[in-house]
């Protein structure tokens, strides 16, 4: 098939680099535009990144010589660009909001990793296996903003991706959840580059990450909500309390979850069967970045572990283990996701594939 020509806003940062790594050989998408701050503009991508390149592969040859465009130089946007992935970092969220709106006004769909538009009511915040139908709010967003072909779709924070799909699977099987206590153990890569100072994280755990607990508690409400007349209506039926910590792990966010159900309580065997058999639209459509098995349950008493399990299904699966009865709530379990793949660039690429399939990106 003829490939979609895509751009990356914030291409020199860690998430932008991950896009470049993950999109190599993608059957649908081809990178033709890399954009960043004015200090990188006008340089070849290789010169702009230099020692900041953090990926486990070399800079791809087809990317090295691309000239970095100033992200705010709209006149130099390639005329054949189809859509952009946004991972741009700017001094304020308002600046990011305005920038993404400007791209959408120019007929370019924006698939964003940023938090700036997560609480804009008609901007869907999508995890492909959970709320793909939220894309149906896009026409209302376009009408409100006067967009023609452009729009904005965001992905959620990486802190909640490890546990929310297993919770959604249980709710979809009619086991409604009442309360959740979440403790996350988040990898240092989640802080970007250069990230957490070594003297703060080596031989240590940092029990506070600015803004993470609020995102972990509130973003699921929108993701589990429904499309209403004026935007996405939150689902407030689940109470969530979160504690988010930073641990000395390179990649992979782990969550320890305590769960209380509303009425019906499944057996342990039923929960494992629900998780192991769970499939959703990305799997039905066989999208390139969709994990074949979205939730992997491991019987080993000491799993999941980031080093051993973060790359399951090319980093796109949620790996769960240690399901057991809880002495206060009903059950507890441990879940793991790859924060820079499923939780960042990979999750956004899957969202773009869904939007292509639904006809929003043409």
Q: Helix-strand-coil percent breakdown of the chain, rounded to 5?
A: 35, 20, 40
**Could you tell me which of 220, 229, 241, 4 has the C-alpha nearest to residue 126?**
220
What is the total residue count of the chain?
362
Q: Please say if 158 is a catalytic residue.
A: yes
Angle in degrees, CA 251, 11, 20, rounded to 5? 60
* Residue 234 exposed, middle or buried by CB count within 10 Å (0-12, 13-18, 19+): middle
Quote the CA–CA distance of 109 and 138 in Å, as a whole number: 10
Tokens at 356, concatenated: 């292509």
Q: Is 39 strand, coil or helix?
A: coil
| Catalytic annotation, pick one of 117, 132, 134, 158 | 158
| Catalytic annotation, pick one of 117, 132, 134, 253 | 253
Q: Please say if 132 is a catalytic residue.
A: no
**Could you tell me which of 275, 254, 325 has the C-alpha nearest to residue 170?**
275
Tokens at 181, concatenated: 């206590």
Tokens at 42, concatenated: 């006008």
Quote the CA–CA distance of 163 and 224 in Å, as a whole number: 13
**Could you tell me which of 136, 253, 237, 140 has the C-alpha nearest to residue 191?**
253
Tokens at 44, concatenated: 């070849």
**Could you tell me which of 285, 296, 307, 302 has the C-alpha nearest to residue 352?**
285
Listing DSSP states for 218-256 in one string gives HHHHHHTSEE-SSSEEP--SSEEEEEEEE-S-SS-EEEE
For the annotated catalytic residues, the residue numbers are 158, 253
């Amino acid at each position: 098939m003829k490939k979609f020509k895509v751009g990356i806003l914030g291409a020199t940062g860690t998430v932008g680099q991950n896009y470049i790594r993950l999109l190599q050989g993608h059957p649908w998408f081809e990178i033709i535009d890399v954009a960043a701050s004015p200090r990188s503009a006008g340089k070849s991508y290789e010169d702009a990144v230099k020692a900041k390149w953090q990926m486990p592969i070399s800079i791809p040859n087809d990317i090295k010589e691309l000239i970095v465009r100033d992200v705010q130089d709209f006149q130099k946007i390639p005329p054949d660009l189809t859509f952009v992935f946004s991972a741009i970092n700017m001094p304020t969220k308002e600046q990011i909001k305005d920038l993404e709106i400007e791209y959408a006004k120019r007929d370019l769909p924006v698939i964003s990793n940023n938090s700036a538009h997560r609480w804009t009511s008609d901007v869907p915040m999508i995890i492909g296996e959970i709320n793909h139908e939220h894309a149906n709010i896009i026409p209302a967003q376009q009408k409100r903003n006067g967009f023609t072909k452009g729009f904005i779709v965001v992905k959620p924070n990486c802190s909640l991706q490890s546990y929310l799909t297993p919770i959604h699977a249980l709710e979809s099987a009619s086991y409604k959840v009442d309360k959740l206590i979440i403790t996350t153990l988040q990898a240092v890569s989640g802080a970007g580059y250069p990230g957490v100072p070594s003297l703060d994280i080596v031989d240590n755990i940092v029990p506070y990450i600015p803004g993470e607990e609020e995102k972990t508690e509130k973003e699921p409400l929108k993701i589990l909500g429904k499309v209403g007349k004026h935007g996405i209506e939150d689902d407030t039926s689940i109470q969530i309390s979160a504690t988010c910590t930073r641990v000395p792990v390179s990649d992979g966010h782990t969550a320890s979850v305590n769960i209380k159900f509303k009425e019906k309580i499944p057996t342990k065997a039923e929960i494992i069967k629900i998780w192991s058999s769970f499939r959703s639209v990305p799997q039905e459509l066989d999208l390139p970045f969709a994990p074949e098995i979205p939730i992997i349950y491991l019987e080993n008493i000491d799993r999941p572990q980031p080093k051993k399990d973060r790359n399951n299904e090319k980093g796109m699966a949620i790996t769960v283990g240690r399901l057991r009865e809880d002495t206060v709530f009903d059950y507890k379990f441990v879940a793991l996701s790859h924060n820079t793949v499923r939780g960042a660039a990979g999750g956004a690429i899957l969202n773009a594939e869904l939007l292509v399939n639904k006809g929003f990106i043409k």
